[in-house]
Structure 1
């Protein structure tokens, strides 16, 4: 019965269609300590080849989306894989000089076919960060196979466990690319909050923000494998607030992170919906900017769903 309740709660009116299999080159392999410009160039070439192969195979929709990712030819990817639903890790800002780096971790239905929606939030965040702190960068981390919103995979932490095993080492490597002593924040949306809650982090990660979260699988922030400050917020119109915050037999994710009992620091998320947290002009974007810059102060907790 629990599985049915959770499944019914997460079915949205709009859901991304499954990505068809498309031909694409294998990801580019780089030697250890390859310079950032060389990695950017290699992944940009791989992206262009993936677009060409998709076009030649008659997958014009995917080809168009990949060409959009190329933008004006200056896109900087630390990783790119055009196979299947795809993976991409993009840098916005100058990573080598950044002493504050925000890593965005997306939720369900984020694929190469929906990447521009994810990227728009990353761009909005970087514009806000740069205005307040020029030595900042955003990393849009689509580094895992996200579950479908309407699927059984979104009901368990299986995908999150696999993703966390990738994200933790990635953060360690990222510290070698940024400015010496750089500090990182993890900004984690929806199912991405489940990923972040399972990711062990070192001292370079100072803050973790969970927003639009279905839960983490943990009973409290103190149980998370991190020494970072843990924040939680939810927009007033976010449907995720109606998801049952229970966990039985590996189904569901337990305590609501915005519940004061979870112990996260609350932040103002405004009246927006599930996809509005990083939209320009929102209270949530203001809050996430301050969290990324380590200048945020907790707001007064509210009763979940009130």
Structure 2
């Protein structure tokens, strides 16, 4: 009987993947962006400082941090001015310098677009996108215009924050949809904003920051990319390097909140996550992490999980077969994660909506206020050994 049920689930998984796109839709198969951004060749060829610059592809974030620490402020600014795309995405570079470099890179991309298309000033969606990213007060920590585009934005003061978080989104997120108005609480931008606001409300005296990280190529719709781990495997090293870069700059180790397919990426990344680069991993609305248990993640970070009863992801078979599917449900007690309440959340993208218990729980986890966390079942079940 169990074997038949698992077979039926497997068939269901294939049908969800295939029918959801009208077949294996070739146009929905994404090419992952994994290499350093354009400009890396010019960066490597630059000997203006009479020494080699750290290779964006191979230098560790710690080595990058040491390199910038050896420069004067004027030298740092000059390097960022000459190589904005490289410096803006160089994990380990000073945070404020990356903000400046990305401002210059976005400004240059906007100008180049407008030169190539004179109508872009009035009509071009990309030109408008870049103009919005240039608004005063925005803190763009990463910007890569290749493909569908990748971006990371900071809310709060990352350089002084004592409690930090990184939001890792799932499917259909890129440079254009990162902060779209439609389905606002399903975007990493809005997730990060509401989480940061809740943290400030709960602990107004604690300096905090939240990063919305859309730094990998996400699946588009349902289909082979959403049903396999290919894009998660391509994105995992980028996430780990990003986290190592935060540590190299002295930022507090963040709680990493992984939504939907983002939890697949976090699950793949976890075994190679350097110690001290993440304090907690939170899987929410997860189709699986490509492991059967939390212990198999091989991480020293505390592992949490949440899913609301109305989330359709609960109907997706949690198994792996012939490369399809992502394995066990992190909210299954057998998985071994600390399960928190999400009863007041609605649907697949409502976990960060104001007034939800899930948002309250996420804020308390980031703040380390574990006694305030509401567990999914027994009040003590998710807080054991946390005091």
State the aligned residue count. 292
User: Given the two structures, how large is their TM-score scaled by the length of structure 1?
Assistant: 0.86
Compared with structure 1, are the counterparts of its residues 300 and 65 closer, same or farther at alpha carbon in structure 2 (3 Å cutoff)?
Answer: same
2:143 to 69, 80, 88: 80
Compared with structure 1, are the counterparts of its residues 6 and 221 closer, same or farther at alpha carbon in structure 2 (3 Å cutoff)?
Answer: farther
Max Rg structure:
2
In the other structure, the counterpart of 2:301 is 228
2:110 to 29, 39, 51: 51
In the other structure, the counterpart of 1:267 is 340
User: Given the two structures, how large is their TM-score scaled by the length of structure 2?
Assistant: 0.69
In the other structure, the counterpart of 1:14 is none
* Greater per-residue helix proportion: 2
User: Counterparts of 2:107 and 2:353 in 1: how far apart (Å)?
Assistant: 29
Quote how far apart the aligned CAs of 1:25 are.
Answer: 7.3
Structure 2: segments with no counterpart, 5+ residues? 1-10, 22-26, 29-36, 40-83, 180-186, 379-387
Contact 1:98 1:178 in 2 (8 A): no
In the other structure, the counterpart of 1:62 is 126
User: Counterparts of 2:91 and 2:133 in 1: how far apart (Å)?
Assistant: 26
SS at 1:104's partner residue?
A: strand
1:279 to 353, 360, 368: 353
Q: What RMSD over aligned residues (CA atoms) do the two structures have, in Å? A: 2.7
Task: For 1:2-17, list aligned pairs within 5 A.
Answer: 3-7=13-17
User: Counterparts of 2:361 and 2:100 in 1: how far apart (Å)?
Assistant: 34
SS at 1:107's partner residue?
A: coil
Compared with structure 1, are the counterparts of its residues 150 and 41 closer, same or farther at alpha carbon in structure 2 (3 Å cutoff)?
Answer: same
SS at 1:139's partner residue?
A: strand
Quote how far apart the aligned CAs of 1:162 are.
Answer: 1.3
Structure 1: segments with no counterpart, 5+ residues? 12-16, 19-23
SS at 2:159's partner residue?
A: helix
User: Counterparts of 2:223 and 2:127 in 1: how far apart (Å)?
Assistant: 26
Compared with structure 1, are the counterparts of its residues 47 and 136 closer, same or farther at alpha carbon in structure 2 (3 Å cutoff)?
Answer: same
* Greater per-residue strand proportion: 1
In the other structure, the counterpart of 2:218 is 146
Contact 2:91 2:241 in 1 (8 A): no
